[in-house]
Structure 1
């Protein structure tokens, strides 16, 4: 497969430590309320699914949005003032209202009331520049964060404290945790990188290539009902693996001209793809066919 060159969707970052310094541990009462909204034509950089409330969550430069009708209508999820761009979002296992968000200015934040108040979870992180985030697939209090040029940090107390676990694959833009069998600990971590997909058991024993995908990977997802089933997006198209990433086959891509910038599969079996221009498509048949979300 030829090498591809996809412009990075992450803007160049200069540390904004002043923001982190003034942001309190609990940010509450910021006056915003959820409102009906339309998605702007900007990249969908983060996607997650709250199984408890059956809500699709998407984030990017313009904030965080929530839909309980598969993308037909959207509501804003209020964020703290000055939170900045959302690079990743995640929902802890077995949770109805909790949401994690992360970004290059905010570090990691968590809400347990759909955005009415937020907790700052940066204690133990080296700086607030977080570009990838993953919730453990079965352990509600375990979450992972990737800080560029530093590595992957793990929290086992719902983000109250962090411990550096591994340098991680350089340039990680998406991170997912799966409960696929065969791990020496409790599951597997997959990372989307500029040079393909990497995988490691969550004991951080060894990172290796997950198959032969090359070039930048712009979206990564797994099927919660079939953890060996993975999906990866690149400029060369959309790919699927049914053996945990050892081999990949090309499948149908959403009918969009722009690049896929995020992937997520809900426990319902619906695969969602977010695009560079703010479009969201869904597939209910394993990427055989696609339709625009909300139609």
Structure 2
């Protein structure tokens, strides 16, 4: 599922694309231009770039430039899809849109593909991945792209141009996400956490299984990790300590929708989850942070920056953390500082964009809103 231009879109086979223009109150079908398989629309995925929607079907990949009112094929040089090999996930990282296909790379159609021109041309994005790998999901953490695959965790430092092993994983990984220097995976040993780029892993506590099933999903939102466990009544689990410990988080879900959960989507103001019968959401903890911060708090300057910005921390003491949150509520940068003077926050690998700037006081646990900064 995805949100785009204020609308919600859900891939709901065999009915095709469902669209809501009123925040999920009512839904309509948005299948004009999509092919039918018999009497069904077998749409398996939906996502978007900055200016277009994409969906993956068992008949190929399609694009919409009119908010889902109509679709056209952009399969071009992409593999021929079928009921076993098709585009299962769609991501946008930077100015690239990525498609993840079911099936091993040595099968005709498996792998990862990317476009930088809204599907006019498609490029293979699996150089360095083994032919026996099936890619399950992708995530971007601090500018590094990670791929959870059937034989291990891979990383790319050039936006999918080439891949190499990420640390020491040589087991199946279903999902990966990260926040700061924390990497979290769901895989053959359940939920695990690494603070050194995957060189070593620590098993999480409280997670409901020790071998994450296929289809497990993972998202980080407002600095917290959420997992679709694919373990029957266990449903959704959440970690508030960077993946170290987990607990069930199914408040408000019916038994049927606790039992069958499909995927997450991190929206601007809500985290969404598509389930068997319904879609659910929880609000972002950072919604409303664009409000003017207290005059007693320091203000980042310059607000629009290139290489770094500064904060006067003269009125603070001890260890502090300046945290940047992107438009969908994800933590994208965390800089540890010490109070007592003017401090600089480097841009590092931060992508261009607008970010909410938070100041976390370690000894009290209090987080202050400092307003917004813009990286150019």
Whether these two folds match at TM > 0.5 is: yes
Aligned 8 A contact 2:261 2:273 in 1: no
Aligned residue pair count: 233
Alpha carbons of structure 1 residues 75 and 281: separation in structure 2 relative to 1, 3 Å: farther
Q: Which deviates more, 115-124 or 198-207? A: 198-207
Of the two, which has the highest radius of gyration?
2
- SS in structure 1 opposite 2:265? strand
* 1:219-275 deviation digits (Å, cap 9, x = unpaired): 333344x12342333322222222223232332336548722322322432313255
Conservation of the 8 A alpha-carbon contact between 2:129 and 2:163:
yes
- 1:227 matched to which residue of 2? 223
| Shift in Å, 1:118 | 0.8
1:136 counterpart SS class: strand
* Deviation sequence 1:124-182 (CA, Å, 0-9, x none): 2221633323231442xx32224433x22211112222222234263322223x2x24x
Per the normalisation by structure 1, the TM-score is 0.61
- Relative to 1, partners in 2 of residues 1:54 and 1:38: Cα closer, same or farther, differing over 3 Å? same
Among 141, 148, 151, the residue aligned to 2:150: 148
8 Å Cα contact 1:64/1:77 also seen in 2: yes
Paired with 1:198 and 1:68, the residues of 2 have a C-alpha distance of: 40
The equivalent of 2:190 in structure 1 is 196
Unpaired runs of 5+ residues, structure 2, are 1-31, 285-376
Tell me the distance in 1 between the aligned counterparts of 2:36 and 2:102: 22
Q: So what's the TM-score if we normalise by structure 2?
A: 0.50
Distance 1:69 1:257, change over 3 A: farther
Residue 195 of structure 1 deviates from its aligned partner by 4.8
**Alignment gaps of 5+ in structure 1:** 1-33, 287-295
Cα distance per residue 1:173-195 (max 9 Å; x no partner): 2223x2x24x2xxxx33222355
- 2: CA distance between counterparts of 1:64 and 1:280? 25
Query: Cα RMSD over matched residues?
Result: 3.9
- Larger relative contact order (Cα-Cα within 8 Å, sequence gap ≥ 6): 1
- State whether residues 65 and 74 of structure 1, in contact with CA within 8 Å, keep that contact through their aligned partners in structure 2: no
